[in-house]
Amino acid sequence: MDVRSKARTLSGPVSDPSKLPKWNYDGSSTGQAPGQDSEVILYPQAIFRDPFRRGSNILVICDAYTPAGEPIPTNKRCRAAKIFSHPDVAAEVTWYGLEQEYTLLQKDVKWPLGWPIGGYPGPQGPYYCGAGVDKAFGRDIVDAHYKACLYAGINISGINGEVMPGQWEFQVGPSIGISAADELWAARYILERITEVAGVVLSLDPKPIEGDWNGAGAHTNYSTKSMRNEGGYEVIKKAIEKLGLRHKEHIAAYGEGNERRLTGKHETADINTFKW
């Protein structure tokens, strides 16, 4: 995960993103713009309370544009916002429940927290939702993240230890529309900041350890008003059938390295096979 941030001082408290000033950064230093035309403009989109500085300080989710006002290629939020703001979509009150798995790694060796350096722990089984010094590694980090997200105003709905030791999960939602994505990115950023303080590396790699170990993903639970109403099961089935028609296209958009995780083993489906 590559999340960047910087801080600025304003003349007073602000609670509405539209009242915040735009800002800029050097896109050539992030691989998002050429050196001869490196200016990238930040547009504030969502505000959260800052759990680190606290008080009247805020965290701001921004997306990125060229000086001419065009979204840069890595700005996926702009198009999503247009879709969610369409009257037909807004009327469906789309709910998202997001489950973000992640792995905590020892800083100097990039090996999962709690694992013997150069070695392996006991097989999977006792670690999922486990308790105890020999089963739960990094709970202080996980709980600090949970509390920080609640303070920030993120709709974080839970946390749990995952199947592989050193692996955890947090859940965001149900949240409506694009706010679900804003909350997820804010939660990821807060987690990265907390692991920074703890001296631990945060990994979202889909398969950080090869072999008989579970990978890490971000599961998306989704529904519309029509799906939740009477007769919604038929609406769900039609939506799933449409998803199946674009399986390869969707897989390509879900991030890098998923072919290492989606093998049909370790609680996953095969990456080339659409199932429901």
CA distance 247 to 243: 6
CA distance 258 to 126: 26
How many Cβ atoms sit within 10 Å of the Cβ of residue 20?
19
Q: What SS3 state is found at 37?
A: helix
Q: Give start-end residues of each CATH 3.30.590.10 domain in the chain.
A: 95-261
Q: What is the pLDDT of residues 140-149, one digit of tens each?
A: 999 999 999 9
Place of tokens 């089935």: 237
Task: Please give the pLDDT value at position 42.
Answer: 98
Q: Which CATH superfamily is domain 1-75 in?
A: Glutamine synthetase, N-terminal domain (3.10.20.70)
With contact defined as beta carbons under 8 Å apart, do 47 and 15 qualify? Answer: yes
Reported CATH class of domain 95-261: alpha beta
Examine the pLDDT at 2 and tell me if it is beyond 90: no
If pLDDT is split at 50, 70 and 90, which confidence band does 37 have? confident
Task: Please give the pLDDT value at position 35.
Answer: 84
Beta carbons within 8 Å of 74's beta carbon, 6+ residues apart = 32, 64
Mean pLDDT of 201-210: 97
Examine the pLDDT at 195 and tell me if it is beyond 90: yes
Task: Please give the pLDDT value at position 34.
Answer: 87
